[in-house]
Structure 1
Amino acid sequence: MELDLGGIAKGYIADEVEKVFKENGVTTAIIDLGGNILLEGDSPKGGDWKVGIQDPFSPRNTILGKLPARNKSIVTSGIYERYLEVDGKKYHHLFDPKTGYPFDNDIAGVTIISTKSITGDGLSSAAFSKGITEGLKFIESHQGVEAIFVSKEKKSVYHFRLKRKI
């Protein structure tokens, strides 16, 4: 038997780091664990932090837009950073347990905005597994959670809860 907590480990760690910070009087911080960002308090510039949402079809640090947030976790799961290419075909790291192969759906990336990072970790993987249509329905059933879905066709970016495209 093997127990793999990879799907929620970074979220759990980010939440634990936040607890340590709070216990030690830290009121403003960014905890960045690569794909998992936890924002505490106001930006040093005042007000919300501005977090870039990675464009999954462009080089690192090319963003689709900036997401204003504070006291939130922002977690992204996508097909564009961790993958293996064999004979010109890319195999990303998000596996369908039914087939043993990467999920094959319409999502290039999904970002979850929530209060706890461990929640974002679990929900980003779960929403990714469902594709955009079912993923949106899934996120809609969770209170206090927002999601940004980026399709493989590069045609749509949906920000659920704000009811608008970004």
Structure 2
Amino acid sequence: MNEAFDSDLANIEKSVQAYVEIYPGAEPVSLEVTLLLVRAATLQSGALDRFFDSMGLDRTRGRYGVLRILYFADDKRMRQFEISSYMNVTSANVTYLVDGLEKEGLVSRLPDEFDRRVSWVVLSPAGARVCETLMPGMIDLAGRIMAGFSLDEKRQFRDFLLRLRLNALREQGIS
């Protein structure tokens, strides 16, 4: 493949061997898959950062997540607690993300007309323009990252990841 890939794979294999030598009951394939997933997630995060840089946009993945959710939401707006739930992050985290987007004029907050405790986050026209620039690039990036997989393999991969996610949720005590 390439030198960096080969080096990464060799390091993962060495790590798995070290685990198995010290803990003979360790199941090597589970360890290898776990280490590969962590590395793939790190590389994908780096690809996203590079994508945002190439677009000339100062976006974090979290801020992009808020923009994406609002862009696809009904009326381009959502209650702040719904964004938190959708992103599976704390409300404080969403507040921080929305604060930054609001300062840039990409979103605004509106109080709920019936419940003063609730505020809506609304995508601004400037935010919609940013999304119209980002979305096609994200589609292309997803295609490049999944290159070399058939449609059936992608579906199988998705199903495996869903099962893995369920196992990870159980490990966190979430059922």
Q: Which has a greater percent of helix? A: 2
* Structure of higher CA gyration radius: 2
Same fold (TM over 0.5): no
More RCO (CA 8 Å, sep 6+): 1
Provide TM-score, normalisation by structure 1: 0.24
Q: Which has a greater percent of strand? A: 1
